Structure formats: structure tokens, C-alpha cells
């Protein structure tokens, strides 16, 4: 008989080990899945995890890794703060879209003026846009006790419609010959988030690194970070300690919204370039996996973001080289979260095989 026995305190060792084991188990299960789809599992895994880093065309793919990881890390850092406090913002995708729309809106409004002030203004607008979108579930939760999970998620669908409306209407490129989508911001020197497009460096990456460092300091050195952790682990104790739950909710949702908004803004002004109907590709949802895979720890999230970016790039390679369906990568990412959650039990519990001695 298998029994779970609570550890006197969470195991540090296992909390580091579980993400690694989860990745390995996912590779095995993923290999089986690819085999079931009629692909060579070893080759598929190699294509996804090895070739982008060390393969023939690695020089092209390596910078891509940062391009994909930046938004994931930026969003996941924000989400992790709330997740630690038991505040579930799962509408980052919506905040990402609205941040992009606000940032792009500012940029497009100034077109074709050139000024060093335009990009900073776009950054502010992007952050504010995401922040405002996340404040909707925040204020509703604080004021009416509304469930933030459902509201933030509903707002993703609203944001997607808003995006469609903008791409087809207000922000449509007047010189676009009637095609949907805005002007290309990456061609607009004052508005682009590229630092150097040739080596694939943009400001979103810098922002992601800064977010990682600030989040680390916040969680480990600052009383606000302590309060966030406390609220997640023991809400009543947090209230007793003097944490005002309403302020914490607004802080966590606001911060995660602002970071998601920034991610969207850097994306629309750089790698994506324009406001288009299919601008959002699910970073807001994948970031949830990144946050958990990184154990809600800033450094962990950085590593997890890079890994997840790898599966995106490797997945695209496998798609073109091996004909592996795009959805297979989505399944792969979902499995990763499953295994992680399942293995996490080992951090808090010991597994005992008990032979029942009968009298």
C-alpha cells in the first residue's frame, strides 16, 4: 500500500529536482507520443532540444531563443508574484494584447515624426495598458469579491475582439492596400523595440532581465515580497501580521498586468512589428507553465522561459523538417505542466510503502 506522509518541512532538494525530473519524464512521454505519430522519437527530441542550440543552423536559432524567451519570462515573473500570494491572474494574454495596442497606438499616432521620446512613451503606454486591463479583475475582486480567474480570462476574449477591431479598423495601415494590420513599427526608427535586429537583440530582453533581478530582490529582501509569500502560505496569518489583502491584490494584479503589457508592447514594436489579427500566439498562457516550471522563483523562471522558448523553436524546426504537427508541441508543453504538478508531491510528502502488519 502506498501512503503519503507529510514531511516536517518542504524538501529543498526535491524542490530543485522536480522540474528537472519533470522535463526528463516529459521528454520520454513526448518521445512516445511522437513515435505514436509515426516519427522517430529520438530524432524528434534531438530536433527540438539539441539542434536549435548546437545543430548546423544554431547560429540562426540561438538569438531566436532570447526573442521567444523574453516575453515568456517577463509575463511569468509578473504572474509568479500573484501565484505566490494565491491571486490567480490567468488573463495575461489579454493584458499582453492591450499593452501592445496601447504601445502601438502611441507609436502609430506619432508616425512619421522621429524623436527619442516616442519609444519611452510607448513603453509607458504599453505598461499602463496592461496594468489597466489587469486592474479590472483587481478592482472587481477588491470591491465586489468577484473571482479574478474568471474575469481576467473573460477579458482575454474581449481583448482578442478588440485586437481584431483595431487591426481591421482604427490602426489599419492607410497605405496597406486594404490588407488588415497596422504599419510595421519595426521599420519606424523612433518606435521600434529592436536594439539591433541583425543580432536579434531588443529592449524586451533587457526588461526581462531587469524584471528577474527586481523580483528576486523583492521576494527575498523586501517586506512586500515577504507579505506576498505569507499571504499565499497562510492568509489568516498575513492578515494578523498586518497585510491589507486589497492592496496586495491590486499590487500583484497590477504588476503582472503591467509586465504582460510591456511584453506585448516590446513584441508589437519588434519581432512582430505590427498590430494584426493573429498577433497573440499564446505567450500569456504558456507563461503560466513557465511560472510553475520555474517554481515561481525568478531565476527558475528565467531558465524555464529559455527552455520553453527552445520547445517553440525546436517545435517549428520539427514541424518543417519532420512534419511534426504544431499541436504536438502544445501537447508536449501541457504534459510538462502535468508531470511537474504530479511530481511536486515529493517536495511536501514522503512516499512510504507500508506493509500492513496485522495483529
Partner 1 sequence: MTGTLLRIEGLTKAYPGVVANDDVSFDIAEKEIHALLGENGAGKSTLVKMIYGLVKPDSGTMTWRAEPFTPADPRAARAAGVGMVFQHFSLFNALNVAENVALGMENPPPMRDLAARIRDVSETYGLPLDPFRTVGDLSAGERQRVEIIRCLLQDPKLLIMDEPTSVLTPQEVEILFETLRKLRAEGTSILYISHKLEEIRALCDAATILRLGKNVGTCVPSDTTARDMAEMMVGGTLQTPTRTARDDGDVVLDVTGLSLKPANPFGTTLKNLHFTVRAGEILGLGGVAGNGQDELLAALSGEALTEKNAIKVRGESIGHLGPNARRARGILAAPEERLGHAAAPDMDLSENALLTGAIRKSLTSRGFVNWPAARDFADEIISAFDVRTPGHHVAARALSGGNLQKFVIGREILQDPDVLVVNQPTWGVDASAAADIRQALLDLAARGTAILCISQDLDELMEISDRFGALNEGRLSDIRPVSELSIEEVGLMMGGAHGMEVAHIHEEEQEAGA
Partner 2 sequence: MDLSAINPVLLIASLMVAATPLLLASVGELVVERSGVLNLGVEGMMITGAICGFAISVETGSPFTGFLAAMGGGALLSLLFAFLTQFALANQVASGLALTLFGLGLSALMGQGYVGIKPPATPRLDIPLLSDIPVLGRILFSHDLVLYFGIALTAVVWVLLKYTRVGLILRAVGENHDAAHALGFSVVGVRVVAIMFGGACAGLGGAYISLIRVPQWTEGMTAGIGWIALALVVFASWKPWRVLLGAYLFGGISVLQLNLQAAGIAIPVEYLAMSPYIVTILVLVSLSADKSRAPASLGRIFHASQ
Q: Binder to partner 1 among 36, 150, 189, 237 (CB under 8 A)?
A: 237
Q: Binder to partner 1 among 20, 189, 222, 323 (CB under 8 A)?
A: 222
Nearer to partner 2, 68 or 84 (CB): 84
Closest CA to 130 of 263, 234, 274: 263
Which of partner 1, partner 2, none interacts with 244 (beta carbon under 5 to 8 A by kind)?
Answer: partner 1
Which of partner 2, partner 1, none interacts with 88 (beta carbon under 5 to 8 A by kind)?
Answer: partner 2
Q: Binder to partner 2 among 57, 114, 341, 352 (CB under 8 A)?
A: 341
| 12 binds partner 1, rule: CB under 8 A | no
DSSP 172: S
Burial 208-228 (b: 16+ CB within 10 A, else e): beebbeebbebbeeeeebbbb
Contact 148, 137 (CB under 8 A): yes
| 153 binds partner 2, rule: CB under 8 A | yes
| 145 binds partner 1, rule: CB under 8 A | no
| 276 binds partner 2, rule: CB under 8 A | no
| 223 binds partner 1, rule: CB under 8 A | yes
Nine-digit cell at 27?
A: 521528454
Nearer to partner 1, 7 or 342 (CB): 7
Residues of this chain, 304-333, that bind partner 2 according to CB under 8 A: 325-333
Distance CA 172, CA 193 (A): 20
Handedness of CA 266, 271, 275, 279 (dihedral sign): negative
Closest CA to 92 of 83, 84, 104, 193: 83
Nine-digit cell at 126?
A: 504599453
Nine-digit cell at 120?
A: 519611452
3-state secondary structure of 277: coil
Closest CA to 94 of 20, 42, 148, 47: 148
Which of partner 2, partner 1, none interacts with 330 (beta carbon under 5 to 8 A by kind)?
Answer: partner 2
Q: Binder to partner 2 among 70, 123, 289, 309 (CB under 8 A)?
A: 289
Closest CA to 266 of 197, 328, 207, 330: 207
Residues of this chain, 50-89, that bind partner 2 according to CB under 8 A: 83, 88
Q: Binder to partner 2 among 7, 247, 345, 352 (CB under 8 A)?
A: 345
Nearer to partner 2, 13 or 327 (CB): 327
Q: Binder to partner 1 among 36, 117, 234, 246 (CB under 8 A)?
A: 234
Q: Which residue in the block uniquely carries the three cell numbers 504599419?
A: 183
The H or E element spanning position 130 is: helix 118-144
| 32 binds partner 2, rule: CB under 8 A | no
User: How many Cβ atoms from other residues are within 10 Å of residue 180's Cβ?
Assistant: 18
| 334 binds partner 2, rule: CB under 8 A | yes
Nine-digit cell at 18?
A: 522536480
Distance CA 168, CA 3 (A): 58
Distance CA 46, CA 186 (A): 33
Which of partner 1, partner 2, none interacts with 308 (beta carbon under 5 to 8 A by kind)?
Answer: none
**Which residues bind to partner 2, rule: CB under 8 A?**
4, 6, 83, 88, 90, 136, 140, 144-147, 149-151, 153-158, 161-162, 164-165, 168-169, 285, 288-289, 292, 325-335, 337-338, 341-345, 348-349
**Which residues bind to partner 1, rule: CB under 8 A?**
5, 8-10, 221-224, 226, 229-230, 233-234, 236-242, 244, 356-359
Amino acid at each position: 500500500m502506498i501512503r503519503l506522509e507529510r514531511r516536517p518541512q518542504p524538501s529543498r532538494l526535491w524542490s530543485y529536482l522536480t522540474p528537472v525530473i519533470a522535463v526528463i519524464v516529459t521528454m520520454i512521454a513526448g518521445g512516445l507520443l511522437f513515435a505514436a505519430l509515426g516519427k522517430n522519437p529520438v530524432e524528434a527530441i534531438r530536433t527540438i532540444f539539441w539542434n536549435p542550440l548546437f545543430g548546423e543552423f544554431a547560429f540562426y536559432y540561438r538569438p531566436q531563443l532570447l526573442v521567444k524567451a523574453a516575453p515568456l519570462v517577463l509575463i511569468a515573473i509578473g504572474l509568479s508574484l500573484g501565484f505566490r500570494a494565491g491571486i490567480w491572474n490567468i488573463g495575461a494574454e489579454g493584458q499582453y494584447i492591450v499593452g501592445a495596442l496601447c504601445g502601438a497606438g502611441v507609436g502609430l499616432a506619432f508616425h512619421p515624426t522621429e524623436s527619442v521620446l516616442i519609444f519611452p512613451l510607448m513603453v509607458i503606454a504599453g505598461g499602463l495598458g496592461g496594468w489597466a486591463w489587469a486592474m479590472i479583475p483587481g478592482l472587481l475582486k477588491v470591491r465586489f469579491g468577484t473571482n479574478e480567474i474568471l474575469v481576467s480570462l473573460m477579458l482575454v476574449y474581449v481583448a482578442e475582439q478588440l485586437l481584431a477591431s483595431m487591426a481591421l479598423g482604427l490602426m489599419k495601415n492607410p497605405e496597406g492596400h486594404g490588407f488588415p494590420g497596422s504599419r510595421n513599427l519595426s521599420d519606424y526608427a523612433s518606435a521600434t523595440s529592436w536594439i539591433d535586429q541583425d543580432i536579434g537583440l531588443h529592449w524586451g530582453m533587457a526588461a526581462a532581465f531587469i524584471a528577474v533581478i527586481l523580483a528576486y530582490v523583492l521576494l527575498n529582501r523586501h517586506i512586500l515580497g515577504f507579505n506576498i509569500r505569507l499571504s499565499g502560505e497562510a492568509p489568516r496569518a498575513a492578515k494578523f501580521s498586518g497585510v491589507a489583502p486589497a492592496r496586495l491584490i491590486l499590487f500583484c494584479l497590477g504588476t503582472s498586468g503591467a509586465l504582460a503589457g510591456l511584453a506585448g508592447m516590446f513584441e508589437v514594436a519588434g519581432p512582430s512589428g505590427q498590430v494584426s489579427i493573429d498577433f497573440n500566439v499564446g505567450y500569456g498562457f504558456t507563461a503560466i507553465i513557465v511560472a510553475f516550471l520555474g517554481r515561481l522563483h525568478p531565476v527558475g523562471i528565467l531558465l524555464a522561459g529559455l527552455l520553453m522558448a527552445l520547445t517553440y523553436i525546436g517545435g517549428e524546426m520539427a514541424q518543417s523538417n519532420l512534419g511534426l504537427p504544431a499541436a504536438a508541441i502544445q501537447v508536449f508543453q501541457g504534459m510538462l505542466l502535468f508531470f511537474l504538478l504530479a511530481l511536486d508531491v515529493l517536495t511536501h510528502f514522503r512516499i512510504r510503502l507500508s506493509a500492513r502488519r496485522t495483529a
